[in-house]
Each structure stands twice: as C-alpha cells, then as structure tokens.
C-alpha cells in the first residue's frame, strides 16, 4: 500500500536536505526517533543504517538502506523490521525565493499474511505518521538553524 504527501516549505532545498539526511537534524522533527546508527549522514546509495524507534513503551530497530541519493533532489530509503518493509522516497523541488516543494511517497509491504490483510489500516497509519512528520519537518525548517 502506498500514499503520498506534499508540502511547500519556506526554506531553501539545502536546509530541507540537511534535515532529511543528517541524523542529528532528523532527531529534531521525528518525535519517535531515539537514535540512528551510524550517527553520520549517508554518502550514497547502498549505505546502511539502523533507526531506533520508540513504539509504545519499547524501542525497536528498523534496519535500513539508502536506495536513491541525489543531493538536494532525491533521498529514498528502504527499512525493514521483521516481515514489514517501509520505503520512503523524498523528492525536493526548488521553488525559488528560498522555498522548497517536498513530495514524499511511502510504501508499506509485508510477507506476513495478517499484516497484508490489514494493509489498508497499515497504510492509513503510515500516511498519518508521514503527515505529522512532514508538518514537524516544515516547522523546524522554517525556524531556521
């Protein structure tokens, strides 16, 4: 299941890019994120990482890999936890005047039959989280550094 969210952000693409790829900056707008290992920005396609995410009272690991890396234009990752796979594809557009258009596609899949049956619920939850996170990213980007 997939969904897309788009936002216009009153910040230049360089600022939005930094918030997307720098683990220290990501902590400012992804409330559920506890840590990223390694804690340095990726350098290209194939870079691997682990996101430590708070889910309820637990902290769980999502193993990830960068699948697209075009500085200031596109950043995509694939993350897995158990049978769940989440793909996020961020596309930035320079609107001029220090403004950025950010479109994010999220796709969730699972090899687990029960999760597949609940796919629309899973997709809806992912879309809600994505909307919240995109709103937070906009707030942080527009505040400046």
The pLDDT value recorded for residue 83 is 85
Q: How many CB atoms lie within 10 A of CB 11?
A: 20
Structural domain boundaries enclosing 111: 2-143
CATH number for 57: 3.30.530.20
Note if the bond before 70 is cis, omega within 30 degrees.
no
Residue 107's pLDDT is: 86
pLDDT at 131: 81
125 token code pair:
């939850």
- How high is the pLDDT of residue 22? 96
Residues with Cβ within 8 Å of 87's Cβ and at least 6 positions away in sequence, in order, are 67, 76, 77, 78, 79, 105, 106, 107, 108, 109
* Number of domains present in the structure of the chain: 1
pTM for this structure?
A: 0.87
pLDDT in tens, the chain (145 residues): 678 889 999 999 999 999 999 999 999 999 999 999 999 999 999 999 999 999 889 999 999 999 999 999 999 999 999 888 889 999 999 999 999 999 999 888 876 555 444 454 445 556 677 788 899 999 999 996 4
């Amino acid at each position: 299941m997939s969904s897309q969210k788009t936002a216009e952000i009153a910040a230049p693409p360089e600022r939005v890019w930094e918030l997307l790829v720098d683990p220290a900056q990501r902590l400012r707008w992804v409330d559920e994120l506890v840590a990223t290992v390694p804690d340095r920005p990726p350098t290209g396609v194939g870079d691997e990482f682990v996101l430590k995410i708070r889910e309820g009272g637990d902290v769980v690991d999502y193993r990830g890999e960068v699948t697209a890396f075009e500085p200031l234009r596109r950043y995509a990752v694939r993350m897995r936890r158990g049978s769940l796979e989440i793909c996020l594809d961020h596309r930035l557009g320079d609107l001029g005047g220090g403004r950025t258009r950010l479109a994010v596609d999220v796709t969730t899949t699972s090899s687990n039959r029960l999760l597949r049956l609940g796919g629309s619920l899973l997709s809806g939850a992912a879309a809600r989280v994505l909307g919240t996170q995109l709103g937070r990213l906009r707030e942080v980007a527009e505040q400046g550094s």
